[in-house]
Amino acid sequence: MADDQPPPASSPTPGLDRVARALSGARHVCVLTGAGISAESGIPTFRDALTGLWENFRPEELASPEAFEQDPAFVWKWYEWRRELVRRAEPNPGHHALAELARRVPRLTLVTQNVDGLHQRAGSTGVIEYHGNILRDRCVVEQVVADRSRDVGGELPRCASCGGLLRPDVVWFGEAIPRDALLRADAGAADCDVFLSIGTSSLVYPAAGLADEARRRGAFVAEINKDATDLSSRVHAVVRGPSGELLPELLRRLGP
Ligand code: BV8
């Protein structure tokens, strides 16, 4: 480049216009979100260097059936701490922008890896909770979502109907994705014209495989994420930055 030329306008969001253009012609949009979209609501991601849970504990040592089997009280302490953060959190402009996007395109499939329920609280409907929901309890005996027994004598929460041990209603490492969520997410990725991967390190499978499936099926795939990820080299457009700012801007560029 000649010395007297100003550097190209390196807008941090060169891909945002391309994503807006792809969305304006889309029949079906599929969105996958991860912990990054809730970071601006004050919920630590698994990977954030400072506050990330990934740093403080190896999640496989906590978010796994083996960990729960070995020390249910310790695992419950971690989940109760996270539940408190979730209860105090509010949806941020990124969550609200996705709820609004669903009103601007013919069809939107929203798959989230997050267990915080913030998409629903922002008004999104039909949310596919790929890894469950931290605020629900599940009975380990009956394998159903359950209420807690009032008797809080023991240290561990018990099922109101059978007295069995309760666990958080989330999918742990080594556990299968709930069948309905798996099928609906696969269908969304296979049928969509545009796939947005937002706020996820794209490291955990099978969630991380959805973007590749969409691309294989001919969809325009974009990543909206603060940092580069494992997926970045396999998408058509990359938009770097905080989703809480980028998603409202994307809506502005998309128009009504
Ligand atoms: C399965 C719920 C098979 C719980 C989660 C060995 C043994 C067993 C399995 C495996 C194995 N090796 C590999 C596997 C498969 C395993 C896997 O993928 N492991 C990884 C580590 C390699 N997967 C599984 O085990 C899955 N099940 O395979 O079952 C099977 C089949 C049939 C029958 C039986 C079994 C289940 C995995 C589900 C685990 N549960 N969560 C809980 O929450 O406690 S995973 C959890 O971490 C999240 O849900 C998410 O999926 C994952 C990663 O988190 P992210 O959301 O991506 O967040 P992360 O911090 O990583 O990244 C945040 C990103 O946001 C960053 O890139 C950052 O830059 C960005 N960001 C930050 N701030 C912002 C931002 N972006 C935008 N704006 C911002 N403001």
End-of-domain residue from the set 22, 54, 88: 88
Q: Are residues 32 and 118 in the same domain?
A: yes
Distance CA 204, CA 38 (A): 17
Residues recognised as catalytic: 131
Helix axes 93-101, 243-254, angle to 10 degrees: 30
Task: Tell whether 138 and 195 lie within a shared domain.
Answer: no
Q: Are 212 and 235 in contact (CB under 8 A)?
A: no
Task: Give the pLDDT confidence of 116-165 residue by residue, as tens digits.
Answer: 999 999 999 999 999 999 999 999 999 999 999 887 677 899 999 999 99
Check whether residue 6 and residue 63 sit in a common domain. Answer: no
On whether both 148 and 187 belong to a single domain, the answer is no
Q: What is the pLDDT of residues 17-73, one digit of tens each?
A: 999 999 999 999 999 999 999 999 999 886 653 345 545 677 777 889 999 999 999
Per-residue pLDDT for 2 more than 50? Answer: no
Tens of pLDDT, residue by residue over 168-182, are 999 999 999 999 999
> Do 230 and 121 reside in the same domain of the chain?
yes
136 Cα–ligand 1 center, Å: 19
Mutate to test the pocket of ligand 1, among 57, 143, 173 (most ligand atoms within 8 A of CB): 173
Question: Which ligand 1 atom lies nearest to the CA of residue 45?
Answer: 60
For residue 5, pLDDT beyond 50: no
189 pLDDT higher than 50: yes
Percent of residues, the chain, with pLDDT higher than 70: 90
Residue 22 CA to residue 237 CA, distance in Å, equals: 10
| Ligand 1 pocket, residue 170 CB under 6 Å | yes
Q: Of 114, 200, 230, which is best to mutate to test ligand 1, by the most ligand atoms within 8 angstroms of its C-beta?
A: 200
Report CA(22)–ligand 1 centroid distance (Å): 28
Q: Tell me, what's the pLDDT at 127?
A: 98
Question: Do 8 and 25 belong to one domain?
Answer: yes
Domains in the chain: how many in total? Answer: 3
Q: Is the CB of 204 under 6 A from ligand 1?
A: yes
Question: Partners of 239 in the beta sheet?
Answer: 224
Helix, strand or coil for residue 154? coil
Residue 234 per-residue DSSP state: G
pLDDT tier at 11 (50, 70, 90 boundaries)?
low
Gap between the Cα atoms of 212 and 128, Å rounded? 18
Q: Using an 8 Å Cβ cutoff, are 166 and 148 in contact?
A: yes
Instruction: Please tell me whether residues 57 and 164 are part of one structural domain.
Output: no
Q: What is the DSSP string of 68-92?
A: HHH-HHHHHHHHHHHHHHHHH----
Q: Is the CB of 199 under 6 A from ligand 1?
A: yes
Same domain, 38 and 52: no
CA neighbor of 35 nearest in space, from 94, 96, 123: 94
Same domain for 221 and 103:
yes
pLDDT score, position 132: 98
Q: Is the CB of 207 under 6 A from ligand 1?
A: yes
What ligand 1 atom has the least distance to the C-alpha of 173?
25
Q: Same domain for 108 and 142?
A: no
Instruction: Give the C-alpha separation, 33 to 233, whole Å.
Output: 18
Is the Cβ atom of 15 under 6 angstroms away from ligand 1? Answer: no
- Asked if residue 35 and residue 21 are part of one domain, the reply reads yes
pLDDT value for 49: 36
Q: Taking all residues of the chain, what is their mean pLDDT, rounded to a whole number?
A: 91
Tell whether 50 and 159 lie within a shared domain: no
70-120 pLDDT, tens digit per residue, is: 999 988 988 998 899 999 999 999 999 999 999 999 999 999 999 999 999
Ligand 1 atom at minimum distance from 59 CA: 44
| Domain CATH for 189 | 3.40.50.1220
Q: Are 224 and 195 in contact (CB under 8 A)?
A: no
- Among candidate residues 17, 25, 183, 175, the one with its CA nearest the CA of residue 111: 183
The whole-number pLDDT of residue 74 equals 86
> Long-range pairs for 123-130 at CB < 8 Å and ≥24 separation?
123/96, 123/99, 124/95, 124/98, 124/99, 128/181, 128/184, 128/185, 128/188, 129/178, 129/181, 130/171, 130/177, 130/181, 130/182, 130/185, 130/207
pTM of the model: 0.93
Identify the domain containing residue 154 by its residue range: 134-170
